[in-house]
Amino acid sequence: MHPFTFTRARTVDEALAAGARGSRYLAGGTTMVDLMRQTVERPGSVVDINRLPLRGITRTPAGLRIGALARMSETAANPVVRRHLPAITQALELSASAQLRNSASIGGNLMQRTRCPYFRDVTTACNKREPGSGCAALEGYNRTHAILGVSSHCVATHPSDLAVALTALDAVVHLRGRDSERSLGIGEFFLRPGTSPHREHALRPGELITAVDVPLAPHSATSGYLKVRDRESYEFAIASAAVGLHIDGGVILSARVAVGGVATVPWRLPAVERRLVGARPSQRLWEEAAAAASEGAAPLRDNGFKTELLERTVARQLATVGGAK
């Protein structure tokens, strides 16, 4: 591990002052400390933000505000989340392990980095870790990599389950800088790799995630998350789907669909949603709509199976949430 200085912030302003000087924020540490041990991340200074008052989960006029330092486990167990945002509870409970969920924060979950094995192996070429060095995954073993949102510079999947549920449910991320405060829709927060895969978020230098807002809508209350993976626990998604449907009078009035494990960022599927709204639920509809999930897919040598798996995952979760007839 490289040497670094360590401080603790007692207030948001103290943290932001440290962030402005280039310190990295440390919350649960479940990703960053691992990456520091592997020398993938080599910050010169780290500021512990766990004492900041950013842990509450509160109602807002339009929905729910989840503090950036709320732990994954306490967010999953929150009664409002369980009742009105079940896709979020399910995504959290299918993530990592119980011990990690007790430590990892909501803000940190959005900041977690890819599980691409080449990214974590400092002896290999990786544009995300070392800009301009190349991408070992393009010609290497790429079974777990992305088929959507890829570029010739990076094909790594985004690892978060929670971010997929938040993307489906139109979450908004609140950010604070030393002299600024702003909010981004979650679709603007994550950046596709393009020519600069080392830039993963729209955060400005020193900015801190303070909270995530999730609107409470009829389709949020009837939502769910399906995770498909190589083993049943403590594993990342090969494909996943978050679905929210509002069905009234036998007609789908609103639909939200996002997928993970297959794309470089949490991936919303407006083409699938368009096919659903106004239609009547049926197994045939689920399958027809899900066929649009893989539009634009660009499989690599080892992950061609993900195209069909993605469509089946979406169809199955539509049937689970909307009912099969």
Among 25, 118, 225, 236, contact with ligand SF4 (rule: CB under 6 A) = 118
Pick the closest to residue 269 from 313, 236, 300, 213 (CA basis): 313
What 8-state DSSP symbol labels residue 250?
T
Report the site for ligand SF4 in 196-255 (rule: CB under 6 A).
197
Q: How far apart are CA 98 and CA 133, in angstroms?
A: 37
Q: Which of 29-37, 126-134, 203-211, 230-238 is the region at the interface with ligand SF4 (rule: CB under 6 A)?
A: 126-134
Nearer of residues 146 and 319 to ligand SF4, judged by Cβ = 146
Q: Which of 22-30, 68-76, 86-94, 121-129 is the region at the interface with ligand SF4 (rule: CB under 6 A)?
A: 121-129
Q: Residue 66 Cβ, how far from ligand SF4 at the closest point, in Å? A: 28
State how far the alpha carbon of 228 is from the alpha carbons of 137, 181, 262, 293, 325, in Å: 22, 37, 11, 16, 23
Report the site for ligand SF4 in 132-171 (rule: CB under 6 A).
135-137, 154-156
Q: Residue 263 Cβ, how far from ligand SF4 at the closest point, in Å? A: 13
List the alpha helices (DSSP H) in the chain.
12-20, 32-37, 72-77, 79-84, 86-93, 98-103, 106-111, 136-139, 162-168, 186-189, 218-221, 270-276, 283-290, 305-322
Return the CA Rg of the chain.
19
User: Residue 118 is encoded by which pair of tokens?
Assistant: 């080449």
3-state secondary structure of 109: helix
Tell me the backbone φ, ψ of residue 324, rounded to 5 degrees.
Answer: -105, 135
Q: Residue 134 Cβ, how far from ligand SF4 at the closest point, in Å? A: 8
Nearer of residues 102 and 151 to ligand SF4, judged by Cβ = 151
Q: How far apart are CA 51 and CA 178, in angstroms?
A: 18
Nearer of residues 11 and 38 to ligand SF4, judged by Cβ = 38
Report the site for ligand SF4 in 12-51 (rule: CB under 6 A).
none
Among 78, 89, 127, 220, contact with ligand SF4 (rule: CB under 6 A) = 127
Q: Residue 166 Cβ, how far from ligand SF4 at the closest point, in Å? A: 22
Nearer of residues 78 and 264 to ligand SF4, judged by Cβ = 264
Report the site for ligand SF4 in 87-116 (rule: CB under 6 A).
114, 116
State how far the alpha carbon of 206 is from the alpha carbons of 18, 109, 188, 226, 229, in Å: 8, 18, 18, 35, 35
Q: Residue 179 Cβ, how far from ligand SF4 at the closest point, in Å? A: 33
For 270, residues 6+ apart whose C-beta sits below 8 A from its C-beta are none
Nearer of residues 145 and 275 to ligand SF4, judged by Cβ = 145
Q: How many binding residues for ligand SF4 (CB under 6 A)?
A: 14
Tell me the backbone φ, ψ of residue 274, rounded to 5 degrees.
Answer: -60, -35
Nearer of residues 145 and 227 to ligand SF4, judged by Cβ = 145
Report the site for ligand SF4 in 168-207 (rule: CB under 6 A).
197
Nearer of residues 155 and 265 to ligand SF4, judged by Cβ = 155
Residue 286 as a binder of ligand SF4 (CB under 6 A): the answer is no
Residue 126 as a binder of ligand SF4 (CB under 6 A): the answer is yes
What residue type is 218 in one-letter code? P
Pick the closest to residue 261 from 80, 95, 137, 50 (CA basis): 95
Residue 128 as a binder of ligand SF4 (CB under 6 A): the answer is yes
The binding site for ligand SF4 (CB under 6 A) comprises 114, 116, 118-119, 126-128, 135-137, 154-156, 197
